[in-house]
């Protein structure tokens, strides 16, 4: 009996030693060489990198220019930014050149002073009148304290909508807009209706527009075919305009929806120039294509229905 008790005690001791050794080896395999810890750390790092790369890649493709600090603290969202559009005399007057100041601030009222170059410019300013019959795309100069200024002229009195299109450094492409009042006699309001034939002649050039589709929230390719109006020969020596074959601005009939579209192939030279976009909702839209040939920029407008 005494002998059996000794054997049982020995077995228990041996089992305890083996269990302890097993735990020691398990801990060594997990922590001793840091394999598990290293993999977890790498996994977290790799999970962040694709998101950052994707953001940079998207920015380069859609908006061009370099990008600054992409840390979370340096990413101002568009809803955290404010803009004001002001004139020295309080209001602009029709047919009189005036200085327009664009002041961009953050949610705390502090001026935003760092911007990424977006197709060769820090800020694109789009101006349209109430019925979209007037269109102007100009580029104010950055001064200081979050302010840009530019001299411009309004052709008639009435309401104009101004859009400031820019990329704050470390942020995303942002568009802020506002209606401004211009003193003077207003022109008659022209109806904004879709055109049955999407062919226009501008500056001796004939431009034809084709859309791959006209449904909302679907990928749409806009193809501009540019040819000589007399010879009908395609023009294949377009020059870069703001670093690309062309630019397209699209506005909904009420000017509430704004799209600044860049080409699929920025280095294309014609005769066709393709742009990829998506209309956010059904309705009537006016678009302006801008191109450069023989040192001159020409703008061609079209009105389309999205059903």
The pLDDT value given to residue 77: 53
Cβ atoms of 185 and 155 within 8 Å: the answer is: no
Confirm or reject CATH 2.60.40.1930 for domain 199-306, answering yes or no: yes
* Unique residue bearing structure tokens 């269109």: 135
- Where exactly does CATH 2.60.40.1930 map onto the chain? 76-183, 199-306
Strand locations in 147-242 (E)? 147-152, 158-166, 174-183, 199-202, 205-211, 220-228
Tokens 């506005």 belong to which residue?
A: 251
Residue 132's pLDDT is what? 98
**Token pair of 21, please?**
């050794």
Distance CA 44, CA 166 (A): 32
Q: pLDDT (tens digit, 9 = 90+) per residue, 134-179?
A: 999 999 999 999 999 999 999 999 999 999 999 999 999 999 999 9
- What is the structure's pLDDT at 78? 64
Give the pLDDT confidence score for residue 79 in this predicted structure.
75
Mean pLDDT by 10 residues, the chain (307 residues): 40 38 36 29 29 28 30 50 96 97 96 96 97 98 97 98 97 96 94 96 97 96 98 98 96 96 95 97 98 97 97
What is the CATH T-level fold of the domain 76-183, as seen in this structure? Immunoglobulin-like (2.60.40)
Token output for 261: 């579209």
Cα separation, 36 vs 216, whole angstroms: 49
* Conformation bin of residue 169: beta by default, left when phi > 0, alpha when psi is -120 to 50: beta
Whether residue 271 is preceded by a cis peptide bond, meaning omega within 30 degrees of 0, is: yes
Q: H or E stretch including 127?
A: strand 123-129
Q: What is the DSSP string of 76-100?
A: --GGGEEEEEE-TTSSEETTS-EEE
């Amino acid at each position: 009996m005494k002998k059996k008790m000794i054997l049982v005690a020995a077995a228990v001791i041996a089992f305890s030693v083996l269990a302890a050794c097993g735990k020691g080896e398990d801990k060594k395999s997990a922590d001793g060489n840091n394999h598990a810890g290293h993999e977890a750390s790498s996994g977290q790092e790799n999970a962040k990198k694709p998101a950052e790369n994707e953001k940079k890649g998207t920015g380069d493709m859609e908006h061009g220019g370099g990008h600054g600090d992409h840390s979370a603290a340096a990413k101002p969202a568009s809803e955290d930014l404010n803009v004001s559009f002001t004139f020295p005399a309080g209001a602009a007057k029709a047919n009189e050149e005036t200085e327009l100041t664009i002041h961009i601030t953050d949610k705390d009222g502090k001026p935003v002073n760092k911007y990424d170059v977006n197709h060769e410019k820090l800020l694109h300013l789009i101006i349209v009148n109430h019925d979209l019959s007037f269109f102007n795309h100009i580029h104010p100069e950055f001064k200081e304290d979050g302010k840009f200024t530019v001299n411009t002229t309004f052709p008639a009195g009435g309401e104009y909508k101004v859009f400031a299109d820019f990329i704050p450094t470390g942020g995303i492409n942002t568009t802020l807009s506002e209606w401004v009042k211009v003193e003077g006699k207003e022109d008659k309001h022209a109806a904004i209706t879709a055109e049955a034939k999407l062919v226009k002649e501008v500056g001796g050039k004939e431009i034809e527009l084709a859309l791959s589709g006209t449904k909302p929230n679907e990928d749409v390719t806009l193809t501009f075919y540019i040819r000589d109006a007399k010879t009908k020969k395609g023009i294949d020596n377009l020059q870069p305009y703001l670093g690309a074959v062309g630019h397209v601005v699209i506005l909904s009939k009420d000017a509430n929806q704004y799209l600044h579209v860049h080409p699929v192939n920025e280095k294309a030279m014609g005769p066709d120039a393709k742009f990829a976009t998506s209309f956010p909702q059904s309705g009537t839209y006016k678009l302006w294509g801008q191109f450069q040939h023989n040192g001159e920029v020409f703008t061609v407008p079209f009105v389309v229905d999205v059903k």
